[in-house]
Amino acid sequence: MDFELQYTDPCSRARAGKITTDHGCINTPIFMPVGTVASVKAVHLHELKEDIKAQIILGNTYHLYLRPGLDTLEKAGGLHKFNGWDRPILTDSGGFQVFSLSENRKLTEEGAHFRSHIDGSKHLFTPEKVVDIQRIIGSDIMMALDECPPGQSDYSYAKKSLQLTQRWLERGWKHFCETEGKYGYKQTFFPIVQGCVYPDLRKDAAKHVAQLEADGNAIGGLAVGEPTEKMYEMIDVVNEILPTDKPRYLMGVGTPANILEGIERGIDMFDCVMPTRNGRNGMLFTANGIMNMRNKKWADDFSPIDPDGTSYVDHQYSKAYLRHLFISNEILAMQIASVHNLAFYVWLTQEARKHILNGTFKTWKDEMIIRVTHRL
């Protein structure tokens, strides 16, 4: 994987760059739709490519390992061939999912012991094993195994957690460097910066990650219960240390405003389930604000869903029709909302890129923050 830093905004840390993988190029900053179990919920590949214009999607090691399972994925020739997506794929190591199974997992020096949420069967993720799993999945970018501590963790727990994550990282990185991919193309490995909301821990984590000189770096453990201001503070702390010539991936974040603030602070890559999850519940994000499509106010509004939107659904369907579909519990409502929200998120990051390259990012971003947080 190669990264070309093309331009840095003179009034902030916002950057425009280009990531090149064996499955294609990614213009940053970029939002990556989440396809947890080999599919982006309720969205066809044609829509992802041609309408949403996604350049890269995510898969999840935990979920793919359990279902469909490694035998199926290996027989298929990897995730790209299994789901038909021929552009770049990033996989999360499963650390966050194991963290969310707090009552059904145990962390040891060896790794993360957990029970499947599907059938209760016992499993063990070691730093080495998650590399091997991601080799079989065949993602272009894989993540290190880490522990994701809750945002409200006390200092003592956060420090012990970080130290465990760092020891796991050393093992995972060594194993990655000693192994090769299975399908004839190159894979890359991103370490993850943890440390909760404690600046000294984040600094230590960022220094430890930076010295590995991996092709890119991730920032995890944010948007997990800590105040938003703390999240922004931790991004600033970490990006003072992470190398500028490598892409920075902020994991699992977030709202349109979070993404704009992250870009301003030097983040290049984002993912979040919010556009699809909230979309399935009737929340639409637009450049002019947030709409709850279940509200009565849309019942007789026959104007397009989003006149300024980039997706075909924005102009094909009316607000009244979409509200009717939600009230009627029609599956099409969730599909329309998911396509709209993903298209908007991708548009937002690519529009930010245009303004970075034009030298107008800061003015545009300050205006957009007000607009995207407005309730319509």
Active site (catalytic) residues = 92, 271
Q: Closest Cα partner for 138 from 44, 38, 34? A: 38
φ and ψ at 206, to 5 degrees? -65, -40
Cα–Cα distance, 195 to 281 (Å, whole number): 33
Rounded to whole angstroms, how far apart are CA atoms 20 and 3?
6
Residue 130 has φ and ψ, to the nearest 5°, of -70, -25
Distances (CA, A) of 32 to 36, 109, 183, 369: 12, 32, 23, 20
Nearest to 58 by CA among 73, 48, 47, 72: 48
- The H-or-E segment that residue 285 falls in is strand 283-286
Confirm whether residue 93 is marked as ligand binding.
Answer: yes
Please state, in angstroms and rounded to a whole number, the distance separating the CA atoms of residues 7 and 13.
Answer: 10
Which burial class, exposed, middle or buried, applies to 363 when counting CB atoms under 10 A from its CB (0-12, 13-18, 19+)?
A: exposed
CA-to-CA distance for 226 and 251, rounded, in angstroms? Answer: 14
135 Ramachandran zone, left/alpha/beta (phi>0; psi -120 to 50): alpha
Please name which of 244, 248, 246 lies closest in space to residue 222, comparing C-alpha atoms.
Answer: 248
Retrieve residue 300's tokens. Answer: 């007789």
- Check whether 84 is labelled as a binding-site residue: no
Residue 96 among known ligand-binding residues: yes
**Residue 94 annotated as part of some ligand binding site:** yes
Contact 331, 43 (CB under 8 A): no
146 is in an annotated binding site: yes
- Residue 344 annotated as binding site: no
* Radius of gyration, alpha carbons of the chain: 20
**Look-up of token digits 């992470």:** 242
Q: How far apart are CA 280 and CA 214, in angstroms?
A: 37
Copy the structure tokens of residue 189. Answer: 């490995």
Q: Which residues contact 333 (CB under 8 A, 6 or more apart)?
A: 282, 293, 322, 325, 326
Amino acid at 72: T
Binding residues, by number, are: 92-96, 146, 194, 221
Binding residues for substrate, by number, are: 92-96, 146, 194, 221
